[in-house]
Amino acid sequence: MTAPVDHLKSAAQAQQNMVKTVDVTALNKAIDLFQVQEGRLPKDLEELVAKKYIPEMPIPPVGSKLSYNQTKGIVTIEKQ
């Protein structure tokens, strides 16, 4: 009897996961572009905004945070 509710919940979770993937992918592409044009990895994610590689810092989904590995130049989303 909860099939419609379960379906809506699954759809909402899928949408949330898709948003996470898109945000991380866009940030990682911006980091790649930064590295090619600047010859180095950004010191932090705010540098991407300051140098206009991204318009603003994306807000991570509730209960998570963006994590930037400066050594590898990779952004991930971690649960808090």
Q: What is the pTM of this model?
A: 0.72
Domain count, the chain: 1
58 conformational bin, left if phi > 0, alpha if psi -120 to 50, beta if neither: beta
Per-residue pLDDT reduced to its tens digit, 40-50: 999 999 999 99
Name the stretches of the chain with pLDDT < 70: 1-22
Q: Are 41 and 31 in contact (CB under 8 A)?
A: yes
Q: Are 31 and 48 in contact (CB under 8 A)?
A: yes
Domain that holds residue 63: 3-79
